[in-house]
Amino acid sequence: MKKLIAFPLLLLSAFLLAQPALRTIVTPGPVAMGEPFQVQYVLHDMPGATDFELPSFKSFKVISGPQVYNGQTYDADGKLVQVQNVVYTLEGIRPGKYSIAAAAARFGGKWVRSRQAVIEITEREFQKVKERSLEDYYLYAGEDPYQKIKKNLFLRVEVDKRSCYVGQPVTAVFKLYSSLESRTDIVKNPGLFGFTVQDMVGLRQGQRSTELLHGKKYEVYTIRKVQMYPLRAGTYEVDPMEVRNRVEFYKAIIPGKTEAEQTIREGVLDDEGFSSLANTVVYETSSSTEPVKITVKAIPEAARPDSFNGATGKFSVQASVVKNEVRSNEEGILELRISGAGNFTQLTAPDLVWPAGVTAFDPEVKDILDPQTAPLQGQRIFRYHFICSKAGRYELPALSFSFFNPDSNRYHTVVTGVVPVTVIDSVKKRAGLQVLKAAAGKGPGLWLVIAGGLAVIAAVIILFLRKRRAGQPVQVEMPASPGIPPVSELLADARMQADLEPRKFYAVLRSAVWKFFSLHFALTGSQLGRNNLVNVLGAAGVSTGIQQEIAAILDHCETGMFTDISSQDDQLELLAHTTDVLEEIEKQVRR
């Protein structure tokens, strides 16, 4: 019988969709009869899907499901899209090839269907039910239970290399081998000190296989698989993983008993859910992996380029601007895209030499990486926001990016091209110029007004310098300037993002707030920091309450850039509040 699952409305508006997709993903076969495998139905970029129609699984045993997971991922164009994943865990009942039926979802008033998939179920090569031996979990009279446990239940750790360079990954896999009926609790995860760690597989994935070891076949459970990137040269030790086992043996042959049961848990140390049956006996043991030493070699000093900053692997680099033409005091974005395979998580933002007249801010970082590949493959994108106060043609200089290739044991340097940017006069500035041109034809009266305004500005500057020399608190006045756009214009880009992508909204709003202070208080570079801003606002006579409001707005933006914290209504409310606070700062400084 088919089931319907109601889905909540997702964040993106339906009219922004590109290529909605509903996919069926099945564990690659063949799969042995009685072995669990997963069927996933993935709704990719389908916000607003209201119903989900699941097929029946008549030819399989349903172990668990449906389990629904919500998440986000980046598509091929680097766009953040919403994903919903409906997961079933099944077992094959009998050998053969079977079709996994398609699923369907209602989207945009129409039903969208996935494709069918095929899975092959085979008989176990090393056993059939009638040939299954019970001796592993049957305890004979006089048999040492602890020796039996030691032989039939143990941990192993496997690493793909024991010597590497700084930044070169080492893959470690922690496995439990078992032919017993038991429950295993993880009491200590290994310490991986000296490494940046990227998880690949955990208990949640339920990865299970069969291996032949010393002539005996075991059920093998992958507890954890990681790739570790060394931070410094030296000898490091992968600490043991420790577990506690509760093993149940039968004192007599149990009719119909054909297979041992194994449970692995993490972070739970109790006896709940494990009760011995009649005619059984339970023993407890502890086991651990052996510590593993990893020798990390320093990157060679010989021929090291000046632009090398720790990148290890194979990379390419590309630089571009989002818009080739911007207005004066309008925010531009330079994207530096590093692609390839290597220690992406250790890459830091390259130092760029900005031309005179360009004010730049600390970059945002976005990763598009495949965590299942070692080394990591994909892209790390640095987005530098910048503004230019004067019109003209600017050239953002070429960047040299160097990396060490451990396969060839050589350094390589790649260079971006020069990135041109044209800055044109803003509307406000052009309007100001038109006023001056008009003044030329209006006679001396208007010129006297303009001259008077300039005299007021000069008086403010002289007062500022005198008070600073005298050691008095300086009350900074902020006269209106035709070159500085109003608050509503500064926040226009954020207002456009409020009904689109939430995280981008918070990033654009945060950037606009800092741009406000950069323009009004002539802050650049390292001056654009929280501590310095407090000093500047205090000296300008801004009240403590307003300073606290600004700090809260920046905190809210930085939280929203990395988490899903609000709805569109919350964003519009924050935008309105930010407008009020920035306009209040202008009023207080001009008093």
- Which residue do the tokens 């009942």 mark? 93
The answer to whether the Cα torsion of 295, 300, 305, 306 is positive or negative is: positive
Polymer length of the chain: 591
Q: How many helices (H) and strands (E) does the chain have?
A: 9, 33
Q: How far apart are CA 492 and CA 495, in angstroms?
A: 5
Confidence at residue 126, expressed as pLDDT on a 0 to 100 scale: 41
Tokens of 429: 């500035």
Nearest to 35 by CA among 115, 104, 123: 123
Count CB neighbours of 13 within 10 A. Answer: 13
**Domain locations in the chain as residue ranges:** 3-122, 129-296, 307-424, 430-468, 475-590
Nearest to 153 by CA among 209, 218, 94: 218
**Per-position pLDDT tens, the chain of length 591:** 343 333 332 323 333 333 447 788 887 767 888 788 888 888 776 666 667 777 778 888 888 778 777 766 655 566 677 777 788 888 888 888 888 888 887 777 777 788 888 888 887 654 443 333 456 777 777 888 899 999 999 999 999 999 999 999 999 999 999 988 888 888 888 888 889 999 999 888 888 888 888 888 889 999 999 999 999 999 999 999 999 988 888 765 444 444 455 566 555 445 544 444 556 788 899 999 999 999 999 999 999 999 999 999 999 999 999 999 999 888 899 999 999 999 999 999 988 889 988 999 889 999 999 988 999 999 999 999 999 988 999 998 889 999 999 999 999 999 999 999 999 987 544 444 444 444 444 444 444 545 555 554 555 554 544 544 444 444 444 444 556 889 988 898 888 877 677 778 888 898 899 889 988 888 876 677 787 888 889 888 888 889 888 988 987 887 777 665 555 567 888 888 999 999 999 888 876
Confidence at residue 230, expressed as pLDDT on a 0 to 100 scale: 94
Nearest to 248 by CA among 237, 264, 262: 262
Q: Give the phi and the psi of residue 133 in degrees, each rounded to 5.
A: -90, 135
CB 227 within 8 A of CB 170: yes
- Domains 3-122 and 307-424 agree in fold: yes
Q: What does 376-405 look like in DSSP terms, one character per residue?
A: EEEEEEEEEEEEESS-EEEEEPP-EEEEEE
CB 268 within 8 A of CB 330: no
Match domain 307-424 to its CATH number in 2.60.40, 1.10.3470, 3.20.20, 1.25.40: 2.60.40
Architecture, CATH, for domain 475-590: Up-down Bundle (1.20)
Match domain 3-122 to its CATH number in 3.40.50.11750, 3.30.450.20, 3.40.50.2020, 2.60.40.10: 2.60.40.10
Q: What is the CA radius of gyration of the chain?
A: 32
Nearest to 111 by CA among 2, 189, 201, 222: 2
- Which residue do the tokens 């160097």 mark? 402
CB 591 within 8 A of CB 460: no
Q: Give the phi and the psi of residue 487 in degrees, each rounded to 5.
A: -60, -40
Q: How far apart are CA 81 and CA 44, in angstroms?
A: 7
7 CB-near residues (< 8 Å, 6+ apart): 43, 49, 50, 51, 52, 84, 105
Q: Record the pTM.
A: 0.51
CB 311 within 8 A of CB 466: no
The answer to whether the Cα torsion of 301, 305, 309, 314 is positive or negative is: negative
Task: Give the CA angle between residues 106, 108, 114 to the nearest 5°.
Answer: 45
Tokens of 441: 């034809």
